[in-house]
Amino acid sequence: ESNKVWQGRLSGGSAKEVDVFNSSISFDYVLFEEDIQGSQAHARMLGKQAIISTEDASLIVEGLESILMDLKTGALLFDPTAEDIHMFVESELTERIGEAGKRLHTGRSRNDQVALDLRLYVKKKITEISQQLLEFEAVLTRKAEQHLYTIMPGYTHMQIAQPVTFAHHLMAYAQMIKRDCKRLEEVVEHTDAMPLGNGALAGTTYPLDRQYVAEQLGFGSVTANSLDGVSDRDFVIDAAYALSMVMMHLSRLSEEVITWCSQEFKFVKLDDAFATGSSIMPQKKNPDVAELVRGKTGRAYGNLQTLLTMMKGIPLAYNKDMQEDKEALFDSISTVKLALSAMIPMIDTMEAQTGRMREAASKGFINATDCADYLTKKGVPFREAYNVIGTLVQTCIETDQTLEEVSLETYQSLHELFEEDIYEAIDLENCVTKRNIEGGPAPEAVKKQIDQLKNSLDLP
Ligand code: ARG
């Protein structure tokens, strides 16, 4: 049994099992800074509006500041038996400053308080992740600049398709990350409304200055409807979705890195600092980082599912179910931060095996489309040209030849329009350089892509 601030209504104390089950401090303690900043802004406003005395307001602000300092230095420890971070801070405040501490919660409910804390937290963490993503874009772009001319096979269905460059491939991921940044910006926009003043659900009779609180805390607006304001977790789900998308992109790249590291591909070499060994097989160099990123993607998806499901049956307004929003959100945030912090330097230090890429690109009739295009450009309808080259490839497979190795006589026996310049047309460097369409793999086009991205990022 224990005593709670809300014990007045209930007879006797709550059961120990209920306290344990109900308590959220074991995970919501991470909100302590946001909780204290929010309370300080609220107290200043209560003082300004003469709802409490300015002396009490100052005492509260200073008392909260000392709690913040002590929590940061470790001089004050979180009480694991507290119900949640909000109750913990409030009771610690009252212990430190007495009477005045009991006035902090005037015109406020934990329902609008927790909504505020969570919004502050999401804005801060999502902005931190955006910074990491910008760094990742810079790393991908820098690497791409070094490989404008590094030819590698492009695949569809994991079958060799057409030649591209390593730069083009890396920039594809830079574009994904750029969109991720935009999505995170939008998450911050959706989160940028201040909920204090919503009270428990029906606002309050006190003349609170909501705008003043919003300004102090850096919010662009205040929430428009008190019932919605205390029970809206869309911004949490938006964050979980945007973070899932980040993980999905990181996971795709991880999958490629894992493939590229294999003995069969050998397209890249990981720095030893970003690889691991085996406890039994002495020859192993494993891409654990990439595998873990791929594996942890499941957590992000699971968290999104958790949140959507948790919210779907909740009537207005606050219900305790919503306490379950935190672990899912926190886990998605820490998973993405951790994944990026390992993945960015891994990609940065990864070495392209350009010879191997080029070798792989020369197999699998990667220039067959260009061969067909050669005839088409001489007036042969594409479908007809396609059939001619199809037959040619069939023959090449039987004779174990590449398109470059086929004699001009053979070419001409298939179509009279083939001339000596066919070899130029199917030369891989030419195949890539001539794909100079906007968004294409030609070095010139990729350079433009890189410059545009760098401009949008303000990168040197
Ligand atoms: N720990 C609670 C949560 O995370 C804070 C809000 C509690 N409000 C209430 N009326 N019980 O949702």
Written as one string, the DSSP assignment of 330-347 is HHHHHHHHHHHHHHHHHH
What is the sign, positive or negative, of the torsion defined by CA atoms of 402, 404, 405, 408? positive
* pLDDT value for 2: 58
| Whether residue 81 has pLDDT greater than 60 | yes
Judge contact between 292 and 324, C-beta under 8 A. no
Task: Tell whether the torsion through CA atoms of 15, 16, 17 and 18 is positive or negative.
Answer: positive
Average pLDDT over residues 212-224: 98
- Confidence category of residue 9, pLDDT binned at 50, 70, 90: confident
Evaluated on CA atoms 222, 223, 225, 229, the torsion sign reads negative
- Return the residue matching tokens 């971070």: 85
Residues 261 and 371 in one domain: no
> Mean per-residue pLDDT for 64-82?
97
124 within domain boundaries: yes
Task: Please give the single-letter amino acid code of residue 154.
Answer: G
In a domain, 146, yes or no: no
- Spatial contact of 163 and 441, defined as CB atoms under 8 Å apart: yes
Residues 351 and 223 in one domain: yes
Q: Is 84 in the pocket of ligand 1 (CB under 6 A)?
A: yes
Buried/exposed 314-329: b ≥16 CB within 10 Å, e otherwise: eeebbeeebbbbbebb
Catalytic residue IDs? 157, 278
- Give the separation between CA 151 and CA 202, rounded to whole angstroms: 64
Is 283 in the same domain as 134?
A: yes
**Rounded distance from Cα 24 to ligand 1 centre (Å):** 9
Containing 445, the helix (H) or strand (E) segment is helix 443-457
Question: What CA–CA distance (Å, rounded) separates 411 from 420?
Answer: 10
Tell me, yes or no, whether 287 and 331 share the same domain: yes
Contacts of 303 (CB under 8 A, 6+ apart): 240, 243, 244, 328, 329, 331, 332
- Tell me the best of 114, 117, 121, 201 to mutate to test the pocket of ligand 1, counting ligand atoms within 8 Å of each CB and taking the most: 114
108 in ligand 1 pocket by Cβ < 6 Å?
no
Q: Higher-confidence residue: 33 or 279?
A: 33
- Residue 8, pLDDT > 80, answer no
291 and 383 both lie in a single domain: no
Distance CA 97, CA 62 (A): 9
Which atom of ligand 1 lies at the shortest distance from residue 24's CA?
Answer: 1
Residue closest by Cα to atom 12 of ligand 1: 323
Ligand 1 centroid to Cα of residue 7, in Å, is 16
pLDDT for residue 3 is more than 70: no
Nearest CA to ligand 1 atom 4: 323
Q: Fill in the DSSP letter of residue 410.
A: H
Q: Find out whether 8 and 87 touch, Cβ atoms under 8 Å.
A: no
Q: In terms of domains, do 62 and 98 share one?
A: yes
Distance (angstroms) between ligand 1 centre and the Cα of 324 equals 10
Same domain, 328 and 249: yes
Residues 188 and 117 in one domain: yes
The owner of tokens 């003995």 is 263
Domain that holds residue 426: 362-452
> What's the average model confidence in pLDDT over 54-67?
98
- With a 6 A CB cut-off, is 23 part of the ligand 1 pocket? no
Q: Do residues 294 and 194 both lie within one domain?
A: yes
Rounded-to-integer distance, Cα 343 and Cα 20, Å: 38
The whole-angstrom separation of Cα 161 and Cα 156 is 6
Q: CA dihedral in degrees (201, 207, 209, 210; nearest 10)?
A: 10
Instruction: Look at residue 114 and give its three-state secondary structure.
Output: helix
Residues 119 and 187 in one domain: yes
- Token digits of residue 216: 């102090």
Provide the pLDDT confidence category of residue 282 given band limits of 50, 70 and 90.
Answer: confident
Q: Which has the higher per-residue pLDDT, 2 or 441?
A: 441
Phi, psi dihedral angles at 352 (to 5 degrees): -80, 135
Per-residue model confidence (pLDDT) at position 278: 83
Q: Is residue 318 part of a domain?
A: yes
How are the residues of the chain apportioned to helix, strand and coil, as percentages rounded to the nearest 5? 65, 5, 30
CA 219 to chain CA centroid, Å, is: 23
Answer whether residue 210 is part of any domain.
no
In a domain, 429, yes or no: yes
Domain edge (last residue) among 311, 331, 359: 359
**Domain end: 359, 389, 407, which one?**
359
On whether both 367 and 295 belong to a single domain, the answer is: no
For the domain that residue 257 is a member of, what is the CATH number? 1.20.200.10
Nearest to 122 by CA among 392, 332, 432: 332
Q: What is the pLDDT of residue 267?
A: 98
On the question of pLDDT at 364 being above 90, the answer is: no
Residue 33's domain is classified under what CATH number? 1.10.275.10
Would residue 159 count as lying in a domain?
no
**Mean pLDDT, range 134-143, rounded to an integer:** 97
For residue 213, tell me if it sits in a domain: no
Q: Ligand 1 within 6 A of 370 CB?
A: no
Q: Quick one: average pLDDT of 336-363? A: 97
- Residue 263's pLDDT is what? 94
| End-of-domain residue from the set 320, 344, 359 | 359
CA 32–ligand 1 middle distance (angstroms): 14
Around Cβ 139, how many Cβ atoms within 10 Å?
21
Res. 1: pLDDT tops 60: no
Is pLDDT at 453 greater than 90 in this prediction?
A: yes
**196 CA distance to ligand 1 centroid (A)?**
14
The number of folded domains in the chain is 3
Q: Is the CB of 198 under 6 A from ligand 1?
A: no
Mutating to test ligand 1, I would choose from 9, 110, 324 the residue with most ligand atoms within 8 A of its C-beta, which is 110
> How many angstroms separate the CA atoms of 450 and 168, rounded?
9
CA distances from 365 to 123, 165, 222, 381, 426 (A): 50, 17, 61, 21, 10
> Tell me, what's the pLDDT at 244?
98
**pLDDT value at 373 more than 60:** yes
Q: Are residues 84 and 192 in the same domain?
A: no
Q: Is residue 156, in this structure, part of any structural domain at all? A: no
**Minimum CA distance residue for ligand 1 atom 2:** 323
Q: Sorting pLDDT into bands at 50, 70 and 90, what band is 12? A: confident
Please compute the mean of the pLDDT values over residues 49-76 and round it to a whole number: 98
Compute, in degrees rounded to 10, the torsion defined by CA atoms 450, 456, 459, 460: 70
